[in-house]
Chains A and B, each alone.
Chain A
Amino acid sequence: MLLDSIKLYCRYVDISLRSQMQYRASFLIRTLAHFLITGAEFLGFVALFQRFGQIKGWTLPQMGLLYGIISVAFAIAEAVARGFDIFPTLIKAGDFDRVLLRPRSAAFQVLSQELQLMRIGRLAQGLIVLFWSAEQLDVHWTFANATLLSLAIVGGACLFSGLFVLQATICFWTTESLEIVNCTTYGGVEAAQFPLTIYRPWFRAIFTFVIPLAAINYFPAHAILNLRDVLGSTPLIQWLSPLTGVLFLVVCLQFWRFGVKHYTSTGS
């Protein structure tokens, strides 16, 4: 049953990729543009570190590790959860009814609409920063901390995907796109690129307990770099925290189901 769904998803992805490849020149330019934009953004941080030296005890390469994890996680979510990002268009066109008329879960169908390949621009840039930082920090890679790094990225991708799902779920109640949700996705990315300790306590609390971005890069980074966390997280927390991202996605999907229920009882 699951295998059948995976096969169907692969088929959808194949169609989506072929469609994007039709406009090859545009795709290449957009990918390059994303790569350059994110690259320029990081160079800006390099410039700041050159002037200031460090931020609350964190050096540039250490920040680079945080930055890399978040960037790669976000790029994956942007690419995979693109279907939820464009959900407002689907609902406004009245095509959601057709989704409900098909014998598959609505979330699965929305997800399968598109896998946006051009996000590879940010992905590549994030990976470069990540590898550069790891090299600068002379991290001793073991199976354990390599797994933790991967889990952190996967957990982050799940968390950001969850945010995209939430953003889409709002459309069941209002079609006016709320710019404020950008705070959570793009705002979250910007904020989590830096160590959590620089933010005010109330801000830290939001990004630890409400939208657990800290669980994605801040806590795992301590375990990978063998640092003691001034905020007091234990190694156990640091190793398990990426799972929070997965949990977050599960919760968001529950909201989605609630949203679909609302749609079927009020009829668009």
Chain B
Amino acid sequence: MKAYLAILSSRFLALLQYRAAAIAGVGTQLFFGLVRVMIFDGFYRSSSGPQPMTYDQVVTYIWLGQAMLALTLLAVDNDVAVMIRTGNVAYEMTRPVDLYAFWFARALSGRAAPLVMRAIPIFIIAGLFLGLQPPVSLRAGLMFIVSAFGGLLMASSLVALTTISLLWTISGEGLNRLALPLIFFFSGIGIPLPFFPDWSQPLVAALPFRGLIDTPFRIYLGHLSGQAATAAVLSQLAWIMALVIIGRVTLARGLRKLVVQGG
């Protein structure tokens, strides 16, 4: 366990080094957030019918999205990808390390560091000046934190899966190129999920990706409260467990394939 914590903290510290990039990155995200807010502002001014969310809620949703953007920008772990491509991954198998846990820990720290670095300044700036509302209640705020952590775990398990899929080289790469943008789309970061057409909502609900940011955001806004909130968080956890199990199984298969084929 200590080993994985060590990995987590060292990666975290390494990623914290990129301060200049972080400051510039926050600026970029404020820009994108502003554009989206203004687009919705334009829409709301043009129509007075009922919408899935009020304007204020949409604004909060958008800024929460910018703060937690790291959970939606899923990408393959590059170092591991190189290891797999060159065949060095075989050496990893000789170590007394749980390879899945190792890759998961890397994915976790890889998301956690940028998340913290961006989330804090954006919460502050957007909260003070740009319309990010506080959570609907203290309870909602606490549940939000729990659910957001769940989103982090889900993002990590998805990243681990994309990395594992590379053991099947070409098909893995292809799968990632198509899947990752779709995950991005179905997370609600571009178009908030409540705005998806009604006929698509069952599909949205069936996919796990709303657990990345949409679930925590709805809890924050009070759309999901009490029992519904608890159920949503449990659903997140169920999906996380499922993704972890799938990950472990496919990793074992993939490594066995390597051994059989001789790497």
Contact = CB atoms under 8 A, between A and B. Distances in A.
Interface string A239-260: 0000000000000000000000
A94 interface: no
A191 interface: yes
Interface stretch (B23-31, B224-232, B243-251): B23-31
Given A180-B24, A187-B35, A29 B177 contact: yes
B28 A54 contact: no
Given A180-B24, A190-B35, A44 B174 contact: no
B28 A187 contact: yes
A198 B45 CA distance: 9
Contacts, number: 99
Interface in A19-36: 25-26, 29-30, 32-33, 36
Nearest to B38: A199
Interface stretch (A45-53, A102-110, A133-141): A45-53
Interface string A194-225: 11011110010000000000000000000000
Contacts of B178: 29, 32-33, 36
B197 interface: yes
A182 B28 contact: yes
A56 interface: yes
Contacts of A95: none
Contacts of B181: 33, 36-37, 40
B28 A180 contact: yes
A203 B38 contact: yes
A4 interface: no
A48 B185 contact: no
A194 B170 CA distance: 38
Contacts of B51: 51-52
B41 interface: yes
Size bracket, chain B contacts = 35 or more
A122 to B, nearest CB: 12
Given A44-B191, A179-B21, A203-B38, A55 B173 contact: no
B263 interface: no
B interface: dominant SS: helix
A190 B34 CA distance: 11
B168 interface: no
Nearest to A34: B181
B28 A194 contact: no
B35 A180 contact: no
Contacts of B32: 183, 187, 190
Given A33-B181, A41-B190, A178 B174 contact: no
A111 to B, nearest CB: 26
Given A41-B190, A180-B28, A187-B31, A54 B47 contact: yes
Given A30-B177, A180-B24, A57 B46 contact: yes
A120 B34 CA distance: 29
Nearest to B170: A25
Interface string B36-51: 1011011111110101
B205 to A, nearest CB: 16
Given A33-B178, A52-B46, A198-B41, A203 B191 contact: no
Contacts of A48: 43, 191, 195
Query: Which 7 residue pairs of A and B lie closest in terms of their CB atoms, listed nearest first?
Result: A198-B42, A44-B191, A180-B24, A52-B43, A37-B181, A29-B174, A52-B47
Given A29-B178, A55-B39, A197-B42, 12 more contacts: A25-B174, A26-B174, A29-B173, A29-B177, A33-B181, A40-B181, A47-B191, A47-B197, A52-B47, A55-B43, A194-B42, A199-B38
7 contacts: A25-B170, A26-B173, A37-B185, A41-B185, A56-B46, A187-B35, A190-B32
